Each structure stands twice: as structure tokens, then as C-alpha cells.
Structure 1
Amino acid sequence: MHAWRGAKRLVAATIGAALLTSQAGVGLAQTSDLVSQTAFRVCADPANYPMSSEDGTGYENRLAELFAAKLELPVDYTWYPMATGFIRNTLRANRCDVVMGYAQGHELVLNTNHYFTSAYVLVVPKDGPLAGVEALSDPALQGSSLGVVAGSPPATHIARHGLVAKARPYHLMVDRRYESPGPDMLASLKAGEIDGALLWGPIGGPLVKEGYPEFKVIPLIHEELPPRLFYRITMGVRQGEKVWQRQLNSLIRRNQDEINAILREAGVPLLEDFGTSVLDSGQ
């Protein structure tokens, strides 16, 4: 799922309402036999809070409940760590039918239309010297120690701006039952071990909203050189499952306001589609 793996292209589609409401007949007949008709089968990491969690507290859990309710089906999870082999051992193994959050354009899955856009963020103390920073090129960051997930897009930017020497790296591909870069990085920031934390916004935003009122979340939307730091997030289904994809597209289109409300309540930074501005919080 992870958005920092990148997305290469925009895939946009619009569909008619009949594709959503067709629970039988032609539409159902065209759906692969691999897609369950008795449950909304979700592939998810059991320990990827604030996104997904086996106890149901992640915002992707809430999105799954929303979509299942619209389909009048129960949610059924297949749990597997979001690390190497996740898609192979869940979606491709036909144990489940949808990944709730996946970067648009990733070749391992067939993407639905995107349902939100977000960006990497810089998390800093609200009252600290970095609270006014808006871009990683800001001279105020020189000499600072930044936490960064190794191999993620912000790592390239801090290398470009000479910030690597004092940076603290955190692992990218981990089993979050045992190691969790987001919470670990914010704990280091709170302890004063680093001056700022570079996190994927849909992870950092909710964690800060829930437990760190003294921190400020700054979406990094002003970087001019690649790699880009914003991504459009879709749901992922098996390659070839075009009817299932279109049914989910219709659900997204019809329920975008409810989707946005869940994401905003969680604290996910939402951007307009091209990542140039932050959407109004609606609060």
C-alpha cells in the first residue's frame, strides 16, 4: 500500500450508477468468481495504525465498514504485514478482494479511481524554531536533525539540501507488529532526539492529532524538484477485475463526502488533486 513507493500516472474513469446497484444479472455475471458475493473481503495489515489495525480502530477499518455497509455485506479481513509479499500472499492468493489504500499507478494491483490525495509532512514543535518552515530547501533546516524513513521520497530531498549528515534513518519495510517508524519517530521528536520528523501525511497527521497536540504538521507541497511528495490514493483490486473496479469506483463517487469526513476526522492532510494546495478541513 505504501504511497512512498510512488505512482507514475493518473488513471481517471467515470461510470454509470447502474454498475453500483447491479447486485444480480449481467453485472454480477461479469464479476470474477474470485470476488466474494457474501462478504467485503479486505486485505490489511493488522498493525499499521492509524491506517489499519486488527482491533478495528484504523481509519481504513472505518472506510471498509462504510463500503461494506453500502454493499450490504459484512467485512471479512485477511491480515498480513504490509511488507514484502503482502500482495502475493493476500490479493493474488485470492484470500481477499480489495486493499483499502494503494498508490495510484502501482503495477501490482488494478487501481480504482483515487479517493484522496495527500503528501509527506514535516512534523515539528509548534513553538520551535522550525515552525515556519514550508519546504525542505528552507535555510532554517540547516544543521537540524531530521527523522526520515530510509528510501522514502523525502530522503532524496534532504540529501539534495545537505541535511543527511545529521539525519536519523528509520526502516521502510518492516513488520509493524514489532517495529513502527511513525510512532518511533514521533517519540524521538518528543524526547528531543531529533528536531523534526518526515512522515507520510496519512500516518503522521493522525498520530499527531491523537497524541501530540504540541506538534505542527506541515504538508510538503512546495518542493519543485523530483521526486514529488504528494500521491493519489486508490483502492487496489486484482488485475483484470474490471467490473469489481467499476463497482468500487461508483461507491467512491457516490460517497466521497462520507469518505472525506472519515479522513478528516482521523487527521489525514487532504490536498487537491494536483498536490498544490491543502483542502479546507471542513471544520
Structure 2
Amino acid sequence: MPAWAEGLRSACRQRRLVLALTALLACHGAPGGAQTSDLVSRTALRVCADPANDPMSMQDGSGYENRLAELIASKLDLPVTYEWYPMATGFIRNTLKAGKCDVVMGYAQGHELVLNSNHYMTSAFVLIVPAGGDLAVVRKLDDPALQGHRIGVIAGSPPANHLARNGLIGKAKPYQLVVDRRHDSPSGQMLDDLAAGRIDAAVMWGPIAGPLVKRRGMDVAVIPLLREDHFPKLFYRITMGVRQGEKVWQRKLNSLIRRHQGEIDAILAEAGVPLVSDMGDKMIELGQ
């Protein structure tokens, strides 16, 4: 083969290689690129949610996470659609990872199943006791005043560790952690038992307890547990969860949270969610 022909052949091979690499990068994107955001719907805010996770998400739209979704959608000038699935094993796999929706409105910071947005609230587990009673002065689960009392707690939740450490688990009444909330409500049952005197106190996740207590008009003290000295911590930063790798979508949500934090706070405060500082060391009030 003439030298010029071999050179032309080599040049053509190189050109084909460049074109192939260009096509590959177009399909898969360079590191940090925006390609994964193409999975996010441009016609609706597609939310992954439990249809019966009262008071957070409800299929009838009455949960405060529903209102947060409406707020975010309004800023994007999009309607809200939902992929409903019980908040249990397989929730992320069958909704977000399956590409059926694009955001979970409330997800604890640092969970490896999702890519977290910046947090939009920090809240804590709370102790709920009759207002004005002997236990209304308690601020820590190692308070001797709790000894001998029957305390309701969600089995397997972080406060259960503290009850066990402080010798309170023997008389505690456990409530199920994983249930189909379309048919069962452990938090509601716990508050029913507290009102009826079947338990003396209840320990519950604040973003569930606060709104339920407010709606029921219960005469109780809701005390955030911010002074525990031992692991596990009882306060958590709550984010919006998106698919791993979707950095463009994450940054868009971060921007929306930052610019509309006041409106988010107002929704949470109206619902009755107890809000605490980012470091979990004090309560905060709307506007502070």
C-alpha cells in the first residue's frame, strides 16, 4: 500500500476515534456534567411519597410535605404529580431509583440511598407529657422523675436506645416502626394511649408529634430532647432527596430552598413542626 494511502487510512481511523469519543461523552457526560438531570421531568414536579404518612404526606394533599411540594412546584412553574408508595423497605428502589419520580420531600441528611439537598429544617424527637403534671419539667431521658413510669416509644427508633440505657425500657410500651399507614397509625395510637392514661409519657419524632398534637388540641407539653449526652443523637437535619449523581437538580433545589426558606418555615410552623437550631442545641421560633 502506498505511504500516502496508509497515512490517509490512519487519519480516518483517528477521526473515527475522535467522533466515537465525542458521542460517548455526549451520552455519558464528563464528571460533574448535567447529563443525569435529563432524567428529571421538565413538565411536572414528580414527587415520591407515602400516600398515608400523616401528617407529612397524604394522598388527599393535606400533609405539610404536600404543601412544601406545591410551594417548590410553584417556583418552578410546574404542576405536582405523585408516585405513591408506602414508606417502607423498597421505597426508594421502587420510586426514585426506578425513575418514576424525581424528589422525596423529606429525607434525613446523610442517607446513602439518595443525594441530599441542603437541609430545609432541623427537628428532634420530643417527650410528650400531660401539661402541668410532674413530668412537665423533664428535659432529658435520664431524669430520675421518669423512673417507674410507662413511656410509649416506637420500637427500634433512636430514643429506644436511651430508654434502655436509663433503665426505662422494662416498663415502656413499644409501638411498631414499620407498618402500612393506610391501615395502622402507631403515632396516633400512642397519643390515644397517652390521653387515656394507659401510658404516662410518649417519645415521638417531632415532625410527626407536633402537628398531630396541634390538630387534636391536646393539653400536653411537647419537649424537644436536645440535652442527651450519649449516642444516638435525637435531632436530625431534613433535606429533599434526589437520585445519586443528579447534581444539577440538587443545585436547583438548593437554590430554591435558600431563596424561599422563609416560606418553607411558615408552612412548617403552621403545621406545628418543632424546629431546632442546626446544631440541635436550642428551639427556634419563626423569624429567629
Report the TM-score when normalising by structure 1: 0.88
Instruction: Please state whether the residue corresponding to 2:149 is helix, strand or coil.
Output: coil
Aligned to 2:75: 70
1:271 is aligned, of 268, 271, 276, to: 276
What pairs with 1:193-212 in structure 2 (closer than 5 Å)?
193-212=198-217
CA contact (8 A) 2:34 2:247 kept: no
What pairs with 1:174-193 in structure 2 (closer than 5 Å)?
174-193=179-198
Distance 1:78 1:267 in 2: 26
Higher helix content, 1 or 2: 2
CA contact (8 A) 2:34 2:248 kept: no
Instruction: Please state whether the residue corresponding to 1:67 is helix, strand or coil.
Output: helix
Aligned to 1:120: 125
2:112 is aligned, of 86, 98, 107, to: 107
CA contact (8 A) 2:154 2:176 kept: yes
Pairwise CA distance, 1:281: 4.0
Distance 1:230 1:196 in 2: 19
Aligned to 1:140: 145
Is 1:130 the counterpart of 2:135? The answer is yes
Larger radius of gyration: 2
Greater relative CO (CA pairs within 8 A, separation 6+) = 1
Q: How high is the sequence identity, in percent, across the aligned residues? A: 70
Instruction: Please state whether the residue corresponding to 1:131 is helix, strand or coil.
Output: helix
Distance 1:170 1:282 in 2: 35
Q: CA RMSD in A?
A: 1.5
Aligned to 1:38: 43
What pairs with 1:1-283 in structure 2 (closer than 5 Å)?
30=35, 32-282=37-287
CA contact (8 A) 2:36 2:245 kept: no
Distance 1:101 1:122 in 2: 22
The answer for unaligned runs of 5 or more in structure 2 is 1-32
User: Partner amino acid for 1:240?
Assistant: G
Instruction: Please state whether the residue corresponding to 1:148 is helix, strand or coil.
Output: strand
Farther off after superposition, 28-37 or 83-92: 28-37
Deviations 1:109-139 (A, max 9, x none): 0000001000000011102221111110111
Farther off after superposition, 233-242 or 178-187: 178-187
Q: Matched residue pairs, number?
A: 257
The answer for unaligned runs of 5 or more in structure 1 is 1-27
